[in-house]
Every structure is written in C-alpha cells, then in structure tokens.
Structure 1
Amino acid sequence: MPSEADTLTIALTKGRILKETLPLFEGAGIVPLDDIATSRKLIFPTTHESVKFVLLRGSDVPTYVRHGAADMGVVGKDILMEFGDEGLYEILDLEIARCRLMTAGIDGAQQKTAAKIRVATKFVNVAREHYSLRGLQPNIIKLYGAMELAPIMRLADEIVDIVDTGNTLKANGMVPREHIADISSRLIVNKASMRTRNPIISTLLESISDAVALRRTEK
C-alpha cells in the first residue's frame, strides 16, 4: 500500500467536463472507488492504488496544480488562458468539452467601434487582451453568470463568454460575433511533479493518450 506521499493526486473539474473525463481515465484503468455523481466526498481513491482524484471547481484546478497540492489536473483551455500557465505544463489536449470562446451582442445592434466599449465577462484578462488588440479600450464589467442579461439590461455593449450550441444566445436575442479561441479540456501537470514523479506520470500520460486516440477513432 503506497504512502500518502507516494500517491499521485489528480484534480478533476466538476460538471460537464467530469462526465467526459471519467471515461478517459476508465480507459486508462483508473476508476474512482465511489460514485462521484452521488457521493458528497471531494477526495476519491481509485482502482489504481497509487492514484487518487480530488474534485474541484474548474477555476481552482490550476491553483492546486501550480502550488503542488495536486500533481495533475483536468481543466478547460479557457481557464488556462485566463489565469496563465505559470508553474505547470499543459501536456495533453483531451479533446473533450469542446466549445468556443467568443464575443457576442444583441442581434441587429450596430457593433461598437468607438475607442471605449463596455464588456461583461468572467474572462477579464482574455477580454482585455482581445479588445486591446483591436485598438479598443474595454471597460470590463466582471460577472459570474447570466452574461446574456448584461447587453439586454444595457449594462454592457458586448459579452465575452463560452459558446457551445449558441441556443442560449439565440433565445435571448443575441448573436456570436468574434471568435477568440477554440476551447477543449487539457491535462496539466505541476512542473516539480513532472521532474520528481516522471515515471508514474509518463506511464499515466501514455495510457490516457491511448484512450483519447481510441475515443477519436470511435466517433
């Protein structure tokens, strides 16, 4: 039985990403011993005696990995773009939870081209960089949900948000405008862990890469 110090800790993101992540780890022979969907636990031993999962909010995953509280993690590329990749490596595109990071506005409204523009988003750093590259000075209004309300209530001219099917935008009289980035979930690893625990991480990476490739061929 490995000691706590010898156990590899992998941080997983709650929600949609988790549902698509677990089959990949299962394909690599790593399955939580408890039902994550129904359990109130946050830490889960797995069928691999040297691996445990910890369940986190997506925005917290890079923080746990960066500071070494978790050796590896699964997180959306949007979160990495917003918070940066200092202290960690992005080692594999898992090709799951695909979506787009875009700007959006009211359907039929004139797109603002003046120097200043009000933008509602939780992706503050990404939005500021995107609009600055267009020569605009964004007044960023940070929100955590229901972004579509901001232009409708005249709080903002545009939003920067994740777009999947676009149905939510359409239902609220909005349309996507500028494409910022294609998003999918990534496997990340702490830089120190990559050096000190390379054998187990490399073996796990190979198994998960095979699971991703198999999933790709089954589509």
Structure 2
Amino acid sequence: MEKIKIALTKGRLAEKSIQLFETMGIRFSAFYEDSRKLIIPSDCENFEVILVKALDVTTYVENGAADLGIAGKDTLLETNADVFEIVDLGFGKCRFAVAGPTHFDINQAVKLSVATKYPKVASQYFSDQGKQIETIKLNGSVELAPLVGLSDVIVDIVETGRTLDENGLEILENMHDISARLVANKASFKTKNQALKPLIEEVKEVIAVRQG
C-alpha cells in the first residue's frame, strides 16, 4: 500500500482528527509522546501525519506535499485553495462574525475599517453586500483593534463569544458557519485512488454515524 500523507493543524483540531482515525482503527501512538516531531507515522506505517499551521494545511495539500488534509472551512475560504473538499467532519465548529463596540451602527460608516486575520473573507463578505471597506491585516488579537481606534470593527472566528464580551465587543453580524473539512490533493485523488477511496469512504461512514 502506498503511504498516505495527511496534513493536520497543530493543537485541538489535530487531536480531534487523530481521535477520528483511531475510531477507524488507525493509531498514531507517537502523537501522544512528549516530542516536537512534526512528521508522525501511524503504527501500521501506511499513513503519515504532517503537523502544520492552520493556514498552511491547504498549501501542503494543494502542492502535493500531503495527499489529504483536515482544515477548517475558514482556512478554505481564506486561501481559496485548489483542492477537493470531500466531507464536513462536524467538529471544530464555530463561525465567522463581524464584531465591534456595543451598539456600533455598521451601516453608518462611510468607509468601514475592518481588522482581521482573514482579509479575503472580510473583503468578499462586504463586497457581496455592496459595501466598501478598508481591511487591516493583523496576526495577533484582533479584538484589540477597535478598542485602540485602529479599526471600526473586526472580522474573526467566534466560538463562545467570551473574549468579545470581556473586551466590551459584541457580534454585529453572523457571516459563515465553520467546521473541519477533509480535503484532498487533486492529483493524489486520481493516482492514489485505490488507497484513498476506502479511507475516505470509512471517514464518511464514521461521520454519518456520529451525526445520526
């Protein structure tokens, strides 16, 4: 069997992904070791996990460094990667939202300034509404931007809303629901089809059972 390489986001999404594979009988014991290794083989040696940053998952998959990947829908929307989106895995749920100071009127600003880690998503969302915005790309805590006058509002991922609330911000508009997706390299999908198809079908079956 050809080795299948799978790109995963470091952290909680990787943990959920590994748990999914374990449900299917594919174990990655080395994942639980106290190690900084970024390439982790499965116990059966037929699979290999590559741990990367969230926005890099689709880059690895699109360019063939990984056959499969598990990425948030937020990453897919922002990178617009040329990959096959196979299945919604149902975990890692959150949403994109526009947030700002309490009672801020988003429609009164002549040209809205928006701080975000996701400039493409923000630009597309407001463009679809016919609104002109100035995007300010940030890599850190975007919640700070409206508090210090850097932007009017932010576009960010919201899970519980606690961080917004503790910083005097509120959701002004909900944009997109987000969850983890299994994606595939287009060339691998053809050349490794015999190896990938059973795995993908089993993933779909497990998710179908989980979702009832």
TM over 0.5: yes
- Is 1:45–2:41 an aligned residue pair? yes
Match of 2:4 in 1: 8
Q: Secondary structure at the match of 1:34?
A: helix
Tell me if the contact between 1:113 and 1:136 (Cα under 8 Å) persists in the aligned partners.
no
Count of residue pairs the alignment pairs up: 212
Is residue 203 from structure 1 mapped to residue 159 from structure 2 by the alignment? no
1:187 aligns with 2:196: no
Determine if contact 1:27/1:208 at 8 Å carries over to the other structure: no
Q: Which residue number corresponds to residue 122 of structure 1?
A: 117
Q: 2 CA distance for matches of 1:176 and 1:44?
A: 39
- The Cα of 1:203 is off from its aligned counterpart by 0.5
Equivalent-residue separation in structure 2 for 1:37 and 1:135 (angstroms): 51
C-alpha distance after superposition, 1:16-63 (max 9, x if no partner): 211211111111111113134632100111023321111111110100
Q: Is the 8 A contact 1:29 1:48 kept in 2?
A: no
Q: For residue 168 of structure 1, what is the aligned residue in structure 2?
A: 163
CA distance in 1, matches of 2:124, 2:110: 14
Q: What is the percentage of aligned positions where both structures have the same residue?
A: 43
Structure-1 residue corresponding to 2:211 = 216
SS at match of 1:147: coil
Query: Partner of 1:114: helix, strand, or coil?
Result: coil
Deviates more, 1:30-39 or 1:157-166: 30-39
The aligned residue for residue 76 of structure 2 is: 80
TM, length-normalised to structure 1: 0.92
Q: CA RMSD in A?
A: 1.4
Structure 2: stretches of 5+ with no match in the other structure: none
| Whole-angstrom distance in 2 between the partners of 1:216 and 1:22 | 18
1:99–1:37 CA distance, 2 compared to 1 (3 A): farther
- Write the deviation string for residues 111-138 of structure 1: whole angstroms up to 9, x where unpaired: 3433411000011111011112222211
- Bigger drift between 55-64 and 23-32 goes to 23-32
TM-score (normalizing by structure 2): 0.95
Cα separation, 1, equivalents of 2:31 and 2:21:
14
Shift of 1:198: 0.5
